[in-house]
């Protein structure tokens, strides 16, 4: 469905939720650098968890304070995708996440972001993030951390790997369902009369 939220987003830029989303983007180089270095991988993984945790904080703050903004509705999911993509690349380089599993996420996200950008630039329309998409993103972020944790041999590695792969499979299925729904949203937006 194209953007038509129940509470109209504001045009505000300088909001706490937007600052949190921007902070997530700015911290990406830090956790990537830490993950790739064998001596600081643990710290990098912890920083990645902190960064992705703020995703839920900024959304909560935006809704509770009524500071949902047009910028935030684009910046928040973009920050999620960039953080997840950067972590995947770093973990693949570090040998803590399989390339094939990372590519399933990266290729899909790249296509969805590209389609969304084209739609925004050509039609001035933004497709709303669906609940199943949010659940899939949460599941994949959890899976990435657990799989990397287990692959790196940290505490309870076997349990982390098992839980991580279960979360990955469930989230990938949700990702596929969300992608089909987004494709339908995109088709409807492209065939709708321009206003």
Quickly list DSSP for 70-97: HHHHHHHHHHHHHHHHHHHHHHHHHTSS
Phi and psi angles of residue 69, each rounded to the nearest 5 degrees, phi first: -125, 160
Lowest mean pLDDT among 65-69, 147-151, 178-182: 65-69
Cβ-contact 25, 55 below 8 angstroms? no
Over the stretch 163-185, which tens digit does the pLDDT of each residue have? Answer: 999 999 999 999 999 989 988 88
**Domain range 16-191, CATH class:** mainly alpha
CB-count burial class (<10 Å; 0-12, 13-18, 19+) for 8: exposed
DSSP state of 155: T
What gap in Å lies between CA 185 and CA 127, rounded to an integer?
7
Cβ-contact 106, 141 below 8 angstroms? no
Cβ-contact 144, 31 below 8 angstroms? no
Which one is predicted more confidently, 175 or 61? 175
What gap in Å lies between CA 84 and CA 102, rounded to an integer?
10
Domain assignments of the chain as residue spans, ordered by start: 16-191
pLDDT at position 8 over 60: no
pTM for this model (two decimals): 0.84
What gap in Å lies between CA 118 and CA 124, rounded to an integer?
9
Confidence (pLDDT) at 4: 39
């Amino acid at each position: 469905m194209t953007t038509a939220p129940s509470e109209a987003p504001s045009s505000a830029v300088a909001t706490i939720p937007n600052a949190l989303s921007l902070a997530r983007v700015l911290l990406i180089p830090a956790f990537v650098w830490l993950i790739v270095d064998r001596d600081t991988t643990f710290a990098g993984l912890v920083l990645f968890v902190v960064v992705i945790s703020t995703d839920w904080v900024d959304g909560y703050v935006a809704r509770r304070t009524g500071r949902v903004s047009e910028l935030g509705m684009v910046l928040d999911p973009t920050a999620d995708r960039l953080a997840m993509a950067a972590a995947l690349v770093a973990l693949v380089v570090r040998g803590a996440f399989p390339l094939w599993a990372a590519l399933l996420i990266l290729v899909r996200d790249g296509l969805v972001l590209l389609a969304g950008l084209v739609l925004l630039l050509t039609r001035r329309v933004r497709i709303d993030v669906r609940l199943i998409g949010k659940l899939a993103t949460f599941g994949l972020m959890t899976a990435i951390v657990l799989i990397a944790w287990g692959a790196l041999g940290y505490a309870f590695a076997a349990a982390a790997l098992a839980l991580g792969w279960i979360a990955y499979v469930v989230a990938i299925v949700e990702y596929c369902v969300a992608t089909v729904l987004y494709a339908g949203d995109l088709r409807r937006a492209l065939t709708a009369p321009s206003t």
